[in-house]
């Protein structure tokens, strides 16, 4: 992998998940997180008005062009972007941040597995499926499941860190307190801002 800002923009050779440790969750937290990932319904995009729908469509067209080097099939790109936008906004996250995290974590590879066992686009650790899901770690390779888990977990960490994005990203990656990972995601985020 190349070093520096240019290297962040290239697809990594291996998944970049850190050594995120399983933490005990209070029952109330486990229940809330389980409820947040529970629905298996496909994304149903809804907008408060025509202007919001048009803004989404402009975003989708622009991001589709930027994503083309990573996902060559238009149908796959559109499905990925619709699902990512839906799950990011559902978790009150900026889609550009989630795109950046996916780029850094997996290089947009659906079946990426890190050395520590994290899986899929957002490199979700299998222990999360045991703690708040149905226990089937193979489901982490499903697009919506992976993005939903990843977004819910990142939102949990943002709440836990009282909105401190660098600490939340470090916690997500298992590198809390070290700047390399948050810096890589925040540098990549610039590429995905519409």
pLDDT in tens, the chain (194 residues): 333 333 333 334 445 555 677 777 777 777 777 777 777 667 789 999 999 999 999 999 999 999 999 999 999 999 999 999 999 999 999 999 999 999 999 999 999 999 999 999 999 999 999 988 888 999 999 999 999 999 999 999 999 999 999 999 999 999 999 999 999 999 999 999 98
How many CB atoms are closer than 10 A to CB 23? 10
Q: Which fold has domain 48-192?
A: Lysozyme (1.10.530)
Residue 16 is predicted with a pLDDT of: 53
Report in angstroms the alpha-carbon separations of 129 from 84, 107, 133: 19, 22, 4
Residue 137 is predicted with a pLDDT of: 92
Residue 40 is predicted with a pLDDT of: 66
User: Strand pairing partners for 119?
Assistant: 113, 124
Q: What is the pTM of this model?
A: 0.84
Residue 5 is predicted with a pLDDT of: 37
User: Strand pairing partners for 113?
Assistant: 119
Residue 18 is predicted with a pLDDT of: 59
- What are the contacts of 163-172 at 24+ separation with CB within 8 A? 165/97, 169/101, 171/20, 172/20, 172/101
Residue 10 is predicted with a pLDDT of: 37
């Amino acid at each position: 992998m190349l070093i520096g800002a240019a290297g962040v923009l290239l697809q990594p050779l291996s998944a970049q998940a850190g050594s995120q440790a399983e933490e005990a969750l209070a029952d109330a937290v486990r229940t809330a997180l389980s409820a947040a990932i529970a629905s298996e319904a496909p994304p149903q995009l809804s907008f408060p008005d025509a202007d919001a729908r048009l803004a989404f469509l402009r975003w989708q067209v622009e991001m589709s062009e930027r994503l083309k080097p990573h996902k060559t099939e238009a149908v796959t790109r559109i499905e990925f972007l619709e699902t990512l936008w839906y799950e990011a906004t559902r978790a009150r996250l900026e889609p550009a941040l989630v795109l950046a995290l996916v780029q850094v974590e997996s290089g947009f590879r659906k079946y990426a597995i890190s050395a520590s066992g994290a899986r899929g686009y957002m490199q979700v650790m299998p222990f999360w499926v045991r703690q708040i899901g149905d226990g089937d770690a193979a489901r982490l390779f499903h697009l919506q499941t992976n993005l939903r888990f990843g977004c819910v977990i990142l939102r949990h960490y943002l709440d836990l860190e009282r909105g401190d994005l660098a600490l939340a990203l470090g916690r997500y990656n298992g590198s809390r307190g070290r700047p390399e990972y948050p810096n890589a995601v925040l540098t990549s985020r610039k590429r995905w801002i519409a």
